[in-house]
Amino acid sequence: MNSSRQYLTLFLEEARGLLQEAENCLAALGRDPAGADSSHLHRTWHSLKGMAAALDLAPLVSLAHAAEERIPAAGQDLALHSQRQVLQGKAMAAAGAYLAALQAGDPPPDLTTTLAQLAAPLAAGITQAANAPHHPIAMPSAVRVPVVELDALLGEVVDLEARLTHHIRSGERSRADEQGADMRRGLGRLHHRLARLRHIPFSSIVPALDQLVTADARRLELQATLEVQGSSQALERGTLSLLAEILPHILRNCLAHGIESPAQRRRAGKDASGRIVLMVQSRRQHVDVMIEDDGRGLAASILADGAAASQTASGEREHDLASLMSRPGWSTARQSTEIAGRGIGLDAVRTRLAVAGGTLHIQRRTPHGLQVRIQVPSTLAVTRCLVARIGRFHLAIPLHGLEGLEALPAGGAPLTTTLEKMLAGNAPRNPQEPVLELSMRGPQGRLFRLHVHQVLGRMDTVIRPLPGVTTTGALMGTALWQGRVPVVVLDPAALYQLMPEESDGPPSVRREDPPRGACPAAG
């Protein structure tokens, strides 16, 4: 390897690391435009510019320089901040593509368009609706635990440890079953107590929801109030986090499509201020959430238009409203706004719920308004996964993402190595090994298939993040199979996004669009 090639290798490694850190910084700015520090973005582009100049990579130098000029800053007009964030994302994507081409030895991509976008003047006060930041509701990062609970937990652990020690020392094989059952009972109690510690009252996210309704109503020149019933109920953290993710979409839909302007409401004999009621009911296996508004509801004519536009049979029944309304791109809004009307929200909600094992139902209310009912599992802390092997990799796939399993003949069609390339590049594989085909569901209900060599079993597990790595790719995290074998947990939706649109020959992973007329988000 000559010295310039050596330096290029080092450069690529360092540049990728810098970009990755910059992307984390950009994500932090998206979450907290006012508070996050953007100085790291400056350093990143500056370092990249310097390194690229040393290698005489002029287009990359220009890109880094232009991106440096468009760093979002704290205290900036929100619209400018948002546009700069979008431009930063584009610059990073372009730089990533440039680096990938350099690594592959391909001709570098043309950066002219990105450079022009970066150089174009920005206008304060104008946001691109599709890219307007939606600040996620922050979940509490800590839980308060009463000392008495901790004492009880400690007592369980000490008791379990003492019994385990006794069983080991006594070594009575004849009582092994009895002792095993005793241990399982003890561990079950411990599991239950620990799970209870993860519960957080629903009221912890109510102020943020309330604020969202007030702010968005003001932007839409409406009046609306949010009334929450059952807010004192404690929900498992994962379940609450899921609700915090999807409820803003639904509340925005209520405001944008349901609640009328004060004048319209007065003409209809209603109070000038619209009312949205959110009811939470925790049950044994699931949590019911119902959102009702007293707005205009959905006129039959709009439904018929929507059904016709979606090329489906007319005459949707009442209980199928969710299927119709959550089709990608279907919206009752005549004009898209920053808040709603792009036909994305409900589709995203339904897909997200389906992946988590939840459901969405929408009904018309009599005499007016809409009722949205959501059902989510009472706990998302423990995920049920299928454990499989591909080559030498052990992988877990959440069962919610799986649709079916089919065995293919051994030595049949050779696998192209799309997934295996993604996994390792050269995973050893026996071509005569039988192959199992898993049908998986990606975003918007699209099916794709994944070939695995062996299904090892099923497990309930707590998925943990990969230490030191931001697991925002196709890996959800890690888990231990049978308490001793590390497995990586795949995120089917993210994996689908990584798949090439088409591949030559019989693929190891195939994408498939849903059949025409079928509901893509039907789950």
Taking phi over 0 as left and psi of -120 to 50 as alpha, with beta for the rest, 350 belongs to alpha
**How many residues of this chain bind other proteins (CB under 8 A)?**
50
187 binds other proteins (CB under 8 A): no
Report the distance separating Cα 233 and Cα 267, nearest Å: 38
**Distance in Å, CB of 406 to other proteins, minimum:** 23
145 SS3 class: coil
Q: Which amino acid is at 439?
A: S
**Distance in Å, CB of 473 to other proteins, minimum:** 4
Report the distance separating Cα 197 and Cα 185, nearest Å: 19
Please, which residue, 25 or 278, has the CB nearer to other proteins? 25
Choose one: 20-28, 47-55, 67-75, 338-346; the region binding other proteins (CB under 8 A): 20-28
Q: Cis (ω within 30 of 0) for the bond into 367?
A: yes
Question: 435: which 2 tokens?
Answer: 């192959």
What residues from 458 to 487 belong to the interface with other proteins (CB under 8 A)? 464, 466-475, 478-480, 483-487
Q: Is the dihedral of CA 413, 416, 419, 420 positive or negative?
A: positive
Contact pick of 145, 157, 410, 498 for other proteins (by CB under 8 A): 498
Cα of first residue to Cα of last residue in the chain, in angstroms, is 52
**Distance in Å, CB of 114 to other proteins, minimum:** 14
9 binds other proteins (CB under 8 A): yes
Please, which residue, 225 or 416, has the CB nearer to other proteins? 416
**Distance in Å, CB of 459 to other proteins, minimum:** 13
Report the distance separating Cα 393 and Cα 405, nearest Å: 19
Please, which residue, 380 or 479, has the CB nearer to other proteins? 479
In degrees, to the nearest 5, what angle opens at C-alpha 457 toward C-alphas 454 and 460? 140
The string of DSSP codes covering 418-467 is: HHHHHHTSS----TTS-EEEEEEE-GGG-EEEEEESEEEEEEEE--BPPT
**Distance in Å, CB of 20 to other proteins, minimum:** 5
What residues from 396 to 435 belong to the interface with other proteins (CB under 8 A)? 422-425
Instruction: Give the phi and the psi of residue 263 in degrees, each rounded to 5.
Output: -65, -45
CB atoms within 10 A of CB 5: 9
Question: E strand or H helix at 112, and its extent?
Answer: helix 112-119
Please, which residue, 79 or 423, has the CB nearer to other proteins? 423
Question: 109: which 2 tokens?
Answer: 């991509």
Contact pick of 393, 403, 449, 514 for other proteins (by CB under 8 A): 393
**Distance in Å, CB of 104 to other proteins, minimum:** 10
Q: Is the dihedral of CA 448, 452, 456, 460 positive or negative?
A: negative
Instruction: Give the phi and the psi of residue 493 in degrees, each rounded to 5.
Output: -65, -45
- Do residues 94 and 108 make contact, with C-beta atoms less than 8 angstroms apart? no
**Distance in Å, CB of 261 to other proteins, minimum:** 41
**Distance in Å, CB of 484 to other proteins, minimum:** 5
Q: Which amino acid is at 22?
A: A
497 binds other proteins (CB under 8 A): yes
113 binds other proteins (CB under 8 A): no
Choose one: 92-100, 135-143, 173-181, 212-220; the region binding other proteins (CB under 8 A): 92-100
**Distance in Å, CB of 212 to other proteins, minimum:** 27
Choose one: 9-17, 41-49, 205-213, 355-363; the region binding other proteins (CB under 8 A): 9-17
Which residues bind to other proteins, rule: CB under 8 A? 6-7, 9-10, 13, 16-17, 19-21, 23-24, 27, 92-93, 96-97, 99-100, 392-395, 422-425, 464, 466-475, 478-480, 483-488, 497-498, 500
